[in-house]
Amino acid sequence: MTLDTIGEEIKKANSIAILAHESPDGDAIGSVLAMGLALENMGKQPDRIITEYPRKFQFLPGADKVKKESQVEKYDLAIALDCSDLRRLDGKEYFENAHKTIVIDHHSTNTMYGDINFVNPVATACCEILIGIFTYFELDIHQDLGTCILTGIITDTGGFKYQGVTAETFEFTAELLRKGVNVSEIYEKVLETRTRSNFELLKRILNRMEILENGKVAFTYITSQDEEEVHAEPGDHEGLVEVGRNVEGVEVSIFIRQIDNEAKYKISMRSTSDINVSDICYLFGGGGHPRAAGCVIQGTVEQVKEKIIQEVRNRLN
Ligand code: 5GP
Ligand code: MN
């Protein structure tokens, strides 16, 4: 079984790199930190590599052990978490050079780019898959490990509110509460606190938000200049796409963010209906989940907007 193979590879490896997708969210970070603690419990000394670690996740156990880069050229083992394809992997060079590679993920669009791939698209978060793996390895899910795992689950379920949340999600959370995990602290820090820069960006995206296609599509954007002006740090744009989605009647929310002052935008999409935004992003080389997905499109704001809305329009009733 795949999990036995994963266990064997971990046991054999002397050097291990733990990686996740670029622009990491709470699930990516929670997964990397949880895997780091778990491997330490297994007697390993893994490197957790995240190039741009968002400030709001600094409170998590093991955050101080995260490295921006590593001097190790060839790891025995590289583990990619919460990342659907190699192109999006932060620190992909460590993965490409590693002797053996493992991918653990919950995106249905995962391209199975590892030597060993453990992908479960039904899981609400990559962290949820880790619970299964750690339980299989008979590891104790203690308070610190639980805090990291719950951060991923809370992030990717929008605070237990998205479809996909099951009775098990709550049962597991209850178990962690008993172990002393501070659920309200995680909730507060991860979901309820805006950085000042994020707040300034929020004002801008609200001002620019257009409700199109008979009220079914919300569109807004930020440029690199906006980010410079508000002194945005990594992660400060997180959550802005949610604003449009919460407007009554909106089925698809689109938020686009300029990349490095170029004629190129990162697209974030959310759906509240049967419109599968992952399918739409897939057309542009991206992917994600049916109700939350992303991709990159070349062009000006107007050009990118037209390209993406065209595809949404084709799917609206
Ligand atoms: P977000 O809009 O929060 O950045 O991403 C929403 C979801 O889509 C996440 O699960 C994320 O991993 C996925 N996603 C975002 N951008 C891309 C992309 O360019 N390619 C792929 N394959 N997935 C993406
Ligand atoms: Mn995830």
CATH number of the domain bearing residue 177: 3.90.1640.10
Same domain, yes or no, for 118 and 202?
no
pLDDT at 163: 82
pLDDT at 288: 92
- Last-in-domain residue among 156, 191, 226: 191
For range 61-66, the mean pLDDT: 98
For range 272-278, the mean pLDDT: 96
pLDDT band at 306 (very low <50, low <70, confident <90, very high): very high
pLDDT score of 1 more than 90:
no
Residue nearest to atom 17 of ligand 1 (CA): 294
Same domain, yes or no, for 215 and 178?
no
Residues forming beta bridges with residue 289, ordered by sequence position: 292
How many Å lie between the centroid of ligand 1 and the Cα of residue 138? 32
- Tell me the ligand closest to 297's alpha carbon: 1
Q: Which atom of ligand 1 is nearest to the CA of 83?
A: 12
Same domain, yes or no, for 18 and 162?
yes
Q: How many domains does the chain have?
A: 2
Burial class (CB in 10 A: 0-12, 13-18, 19+), 178: exposed
For range 106-129, the mean pLDDT: 96
pLDDT score of 317 more than 80:
no
pTM of the model: 0.92
pLDDT band at 162 (very low <50, low <70, confident <90, very high): confident
pLDDT band at 286 (very low <50, low <70, confident <90, very high): very high
199-207 long-range CB contacts below 8 Å, 24 or more apart? 200/229, 200/230, 201/226, 201/227, 201/230, 201/232, 201/236, 201/237, 201/240, 202/240, 202/243, 204/230, 205/240, 205/243, 205/255, 206/243
- Tell me the ligand closest to 287's alpha carbon: 1
* Beta-strand pair 47-49/292-298: unpaired
pLDDT score of 74 more than 80:
yes
96: domain range?
Answer: 2-191
Place of tokens 């807004």: 220
How many Å lie between the centroid of ligand 2 and the Cα of residue 304? 25
Classify residue 63 by its DSSP letter.
G
Tokens of 127: 């962290």
Q: Please, where are the H alpha helices in 88-181?
A: 92-97, 126-136, 143-156, 167-178
Same domain, yes or no, for 202 and 181?
no
Same domain, yes or no, for 135 and 205?
no
pLDDT score of 172 more than 80:
yes
Same domain, yes or no, for 215 and 169?
no
| Residues in the ligand 1 pocket, defined by CB under 6 Å | 21, 25, 84-85, 88, 107, 109, 241, 268, 286-289, 292-296
For residue range 5-63, list pLDDT tens digits in order: 999 999 999 999 999 999 999 999 999 999 999 999 999 999 999 999 999 999 999 99
Same domain, yes or no, for 90 and 45?
yes
- Last-in-domain residue among 191, 226, 241: 191
CATH number of the domain bearing residue 269: 3.10.310.30
Classify residue 34 by its DSSP letter.
H
For range 289-317, the mean pLDDT: 96
